[in-house]
Structure 1
Amino acid sequence: MAEETHGLDAPPPGVAADWTIPQGWDRYTAQEHATWDTLFARQSRLLPGRASDAYLRGLDALKLSDGGIPHFEELSDRLEQLTGWRVVAVPGLVPDEVFFDHMANRRFVAGNFIRRPDQLDYLQEPDVFHDVFGHVPMLADPVFADYLEAYGKGGQRAMAHDALKWLGRLYWYTVEFGLIAEPEGLRIYGSGIVSSFAESRFALDDPSPNRVVFDLARVMRTAYRIDDFQQNYFVIPSFDELLRVTVETDFAPLYDRLKALPDIPVAAIVPEDEVLTLGTQDHARSKATV
């Protein structure tokens, strides 16, 4: 979910009423395709044994290894056959109601630009590599695909309750930075991790962050930072359970309870937590002294 919107009441000139734009695949340069290939090569070498089985299956099923920035129409045709989702290009961050409408109708919005070669390791605004390599393979999993549709519909309802602050945290700690417990051990599935060379290692290997069993209300109370590694990762037992909790929870009374409770700070542990790994917080302390 976007941290902010364009702040416009209507799409800017050249943008469709639903805020989509042509991908402009023919306009990508050889350098831009090479940047995708560089990013793809190093992540695809790193992720086996780290990424969830669902993510790796999706990466293979969608043929993202063919080389170069994927063509959204061709990618969407493959994805739609699997789970009914399509990928649509947008000019950047879009208004919340647009974001949720696309998601509720199984359309995933993606930026069509790619970072510069000197930005391989970090880019604050999501680009096509983050959006497509990070997010889209998970949409090939039927259960996770259902979860994202349910999230989009939940977002439409949350707007009426002035509750996007809390719902946005659910997206952050699952879709963007979620971990899952698989039989072989903890695995990553959040797009912000799988698309990041550094955080793909940090999330699983570093002693600094806490790794806590997922609890819906706890996650929605937890603040986060967008400019650094996470210091709390929440671990789901399965995508089926994540979907079940999302679909079966009555969010309206939950929002009312959350409005009366204080936020839980970044990196904090509370007494109710089921802690899998208690972090040293060394990374957080070192960043605080810079």
Structure 2
Amino acid sequence: MATEPVVYGASDRPPRGDYSRAGADYTCEQDYAQYTDTDHDTYRRLYERQEALLPGLACDEFIAALPSLGVKSRIPHFEDINERLRKATGWEIVTVPGLIPEVPFFTLLANRKFPVTDWIRTPEEFDYIVEPDVFHDLFGHVPLLFNPVFADFVQRYGQGGLKAHEQGVCEQLSRLYWYTIEFGLIAQADGLRAYGAGILSSSGELTYAVTSAEPQRIKLDLKRVMRTRYKIDTYQQTYFVIDSIDDLLSQTAPDFTPLYDAIKGKPDFVANASLPSDSIYIE
């Protein structure tokens, strides 16, 4: 099969990655020789800035797992991380040139392989980038893959994604990914914290998501999530809150087919919709 580039959201900008080096499953070798001193410095500065923001904003599980990424003064070799990750949870990270289609993505997750983009943003994009880069993928996503419960949830999501593709409901399931793995919040005993990679890798949204009075924070309800649209170019207007990583795994354990049947034909909710049935998180 041809490895065609994937465009992020409604963007008409050509994808940045070199898809010609990807195999049929969209994976390739990490092109470590491509990185310049500027690239390594960008990674270091991004890491140091985010790490300093984590206390009081990131969940305990993420903070505990972050050192497992290893070196932070430069972009790591993926295989160095894999030596530790395989021992911890049986996962590994694999290189991809950028965003990949649904079926290859789900297939990798179902086999405990997490796709990580290997290129990094330019210094001019230090504060914001449209497509996920190596910093977003490594810093945001990989630490929680060292947590056995979260690692099982991500694999289960991949398995569910393959079923969703067969049933034609990938859009509904993608919203669960967005509002949990990318932009999820968790209610710890000492307050609200972030566990979603899109929040944890963003200096602005990390503070906004946890402390701002502007967004809605709703306790996770799967049918509500699957009917809720999301924003790709602004901070989220709605966040969904779980009680624990175990809670997330248990809520997503049953077969989703009855959920898809229950919401079939029902209208979507806009990103900032407020419903009488919402269970609002109050700290």
The question of a shared fold, defined as TM-score above 0.5 by the shorter chain, is answered with: yes
Gapped regions of structure 1 (runs ≥ 5) = 6-10, 279-290
Residue 35 of structure 2, aligned match among 19, 22, 28? 28
User: Cα distance 1:243–1:3, how it changes in 2: closer, same or farther (>3 A)?
Assistant: farther
Contact 1:88–1:110 under 8 Å retained in 2: yes
* 1:137-286 matches, cutoff 5 A: 137-248=143-254, 250-277=255-282
User: Cα distance 1:258–1:2, how it changes in 2: closer, same or farther (>3 A)?
Assistant: farther
User: Cα distance 1:194–1:64, how it changes in 2: closer, same or farther (>3 A)?
Assistant: farther
Deviation of 1:13 (Å)? 3.8
Matched, 1:96 2:102: yes
Deviation of 1:219 (Å)? 0.8
1:33-72 CA deviation, whole Å, 9 max, x = no partner? 000000001100011111001111110233243x201110
Deviation of 1:31 (Å)? 0.4
What letter corresponds to residue 120 of structure 2 in structure 1?
Answer: I
Contact 1:182–1:237 under 8 Å retained in 2: yes
What letter corresponds to residue 104 of structure 2 in structure 1?
Answer: V
Count of residues paired in the alignment: 271
1:221-267 CA deviation, whole Å, 9 max, x = no partner? 1111100000101000011111111112x211211221221111111
Contact 1:55–1:138 under 8 Å retained in 2: yes
Quote the residue 1:83 is aligned against.
89
Contact 2:176–2:225 under 8 Å retained in 1: yes
If the length of structure 2 is used for normalisation, what is the TM-score?
0.92
Quote the residue 1:287 is aligned against.
none
* 1:35-74 matches, cutoff 5 A: 35-65=42-72, 67-74=73-80
Q: Which moved more, 1:52-61 or 1:149-158?
A: 52-61
Look up the SS of the partner of 2:121 in the other structure: coil
Gapped regions of structure 2 (runs ≥ 5) = 1-5, 11-17
If the length of structure 1 is used for normalisation, what is the TM-score?
0.90
- The structure 1 segments of at least 4 consecutive aligned residues displaced by more than 6 Å after TM superposition are none
CA RMSD between the two structures: 1.9
User: What is the percent sequence identity of the aligned residues?
Assistant: 47
1:156-213 CA deviation, whole Å, 9 max, x = no partner? 0001110001000000000000000001100001000000000011001111101111
Query: CA separation in 1, counterparts of 2:231 and 2:168?
Result: 21
Look up the SS of the partner of 2:281 in the other structure: strand
